[in-house]
Amino acid sequence: MIELITAGESHGKGLFGILRGIPCGLKIDTDFVNGMLALRQRGFGRGERMKIEKDRINIVSGIDENGVSTGSPIGFFIDNIDTKLNATKRSFTVPRPGHADFAGSVKYNFKNLAMPSERTSGRLSALDVAAGSIAALFLREFGVKVYFAVECIGKTCAFAKDLSEDTFEKVLSSDILAMGKEAEMKAEIENAVKSEDTIGGRGLAIVRNLPAGLGDYNDWRNRADGLVAQAVMSVGTVKSVSIGESGITSGAIYHDPFEMKNGTLKRLSNNAGGIEGGITNGEDVVVRFFSKPIPTVRRGIPSVDIKNGKNTRSVYVRSDTCVVPAVTLVSAMRIALVFASLLTEKFGGETMSDIRASFNNYINSRRAFWQK
């Protein structure tokens, strides 16, 4: 089982993570991890904070002098440069609708309503990206790739007919991680800036080449679809998660036919999105998620000053306008963590070579299901 434990606040000294369960023998390519951290910060519509922070992973335990995992917990931190430049703590008593200010302050009895956002801030998602990139490196060792793209910003959507590796390579060069209609999507963000508003959208993540058989139907807690949904739904701003196609009502059209062709079993479509009965079926796992517009709206939203009960408008604090690209990457990296964990659970072993042997043995012993 692979688990991430996090510590740190948005305006604390830094962000800390412990990634437990990465087997011994995985080369941790920190350039890859730092590249993903840079991708999280990129993006039209991000605020001033992203210009200040230059996120890099600092691994302090769990790797040897060659950067190879030892099987011990991988401890790492990411610096908060902004805290050193700007030591003044935020404080306000007017909650922003849509943020954790109100509910979190009631729960913990905070008088400063800015406190909950120290832990719920999008800044913390740098830890998910760092840990998820290590999970993605682990998955790659088994030929599994994780892809992601922004599908919609506001009302503008762009879908690629061809979800090939090339399409996703191109996405990486888009500063909003889009598959098309980049100018229109940027115009949506510019309009939100002009009207002192924020804007949401929709992201896509695909996990390709997973073996059939990850996840389990015997206990609802172990279903792969449920684990993916929890991992993505708990990313800030995400309000819906779907796997595969939704909206097709006829069973005869929806369900993906099997066909034996030249001795190989094929599925003729993938409306199920790669998971049936809570278990991966060997097709692409296809996940979509809706990211709401972020709550810090410059022009304010009707709210109440909790100190004196007076009606007023929500406060504006330095903020992003659109975080759909970052949310898309963060969600994909959370999904990488889920499948890396399921893979270690199924194939066991403390070392990469043990897992590889068990993985290969499983694939060979199940081959009769898809080859004749």
Least distance in angstroms from the C-beta of 42 to ligand FMN: 11
Helical residues (DSSP H) of 70-124, grouped into ranges: 81-85, 101-108, 115-120
Q: How many CB atoms lie within 10 A of CB 250?
A: 7
- Decide if residue 199 touches ligand FMN (CB under 6 A): no
Least distance in angstroms from the C-beta of 323 to ligand FMN: 4
From 66-74, 135-143, 269-277, 287-295, give the range in contact with ligand FMN by CB under 6 A.
287-295
DSSP-derived 3-state class of residue 68: strand
In the complex with ligand FMN, the residue whose CB is nearer, 232 or 326, is 326
249 φψ region: left (φ > 0), alpha (ψ -120 to 50), beta (else): alpha
Out of 295, 314, 332, 352, the only residue in the binding site for ligand FMN (CB under 6 A) is 295
In the complex with ligand FMN, the residue whose CB is nearer, 151 or 320, is 320
String of contacts with ligand FMN for each residue 328-357, x by CB under 6 A? --x---------------------------
Q: What is the DSSP string of 231-280?
A: HHHTSTTEEEEEES--S---HHHHS--EEEETTEEEES--TTTTEETTEE
String of contacts with ligand FMN for each residue 231-270, x by CB under 6 A? ----xxx---------------------------------
Question: Which amino acid is present at 71?
Answer: G
Least distance in angstroms from the C-beta of 85 to ligand FMN: 17
Task: Let me know: does 350 contact 73? Beta carbons within 8 Å.
Answer: no
- Decide if residue 319 touches ligand FMN (CB under 6 A): yes
Give, as ranges, the residues between 215 and 234 that touch ligand FMN (CB under 6 A): none
CA torsion sign, 337 to 338 to 342 to 343? negative
Give, as ranges, the residues between 102 and 121 that touch ligand FMN (CB under 6 A): 120-121
Q: How many CB atoms lie within 10 A of CB 112?
A: 14
- Decide if residue 130 touches ligand FMN (CB under 6 A): no
* Inter-residue long-range contacts of 303-311, CB under 8 Å, 24+ positions, other chains counted: 303/94, 303/95, 303/96, 303/97, 304/94, 304/95, 305/93, 305/94, 306/93, 306/94, 306/95, 306/102, 306/105, 306/113, 307/93
Compute how many residues bind ligand FMN; rule: CB under 6 A.
Answer: 20
Q: Which position's Cβ is nearest ligand FMN?
A: 122
In the complex with ligand FMN, the residue whose CB is nearer, 26 or 130, is 130
In the numeric block, which tokens belong to residue 74?
Answer: 């991988």
142 contacts: CB under 8 Å, gap ≥ 6: 209, 211, 343, 356, 359
String of contacts with ligand FMN for each residue 146-185, x by CB under 6 A? ----------------------------------------
Out of 11, 99, 202, 288, the only residue in the binding site for ligand FMN (CB under 6 A) is 99
Phi and psi, residue 157, nearest 5°: -125, 145
Q: Which residues bind ligand FMN (CB under 6 A)?
A: 47, 99-100, 120-122, 125, 235-237, 292, 294-296, 319-320, 323, 326-327, 330
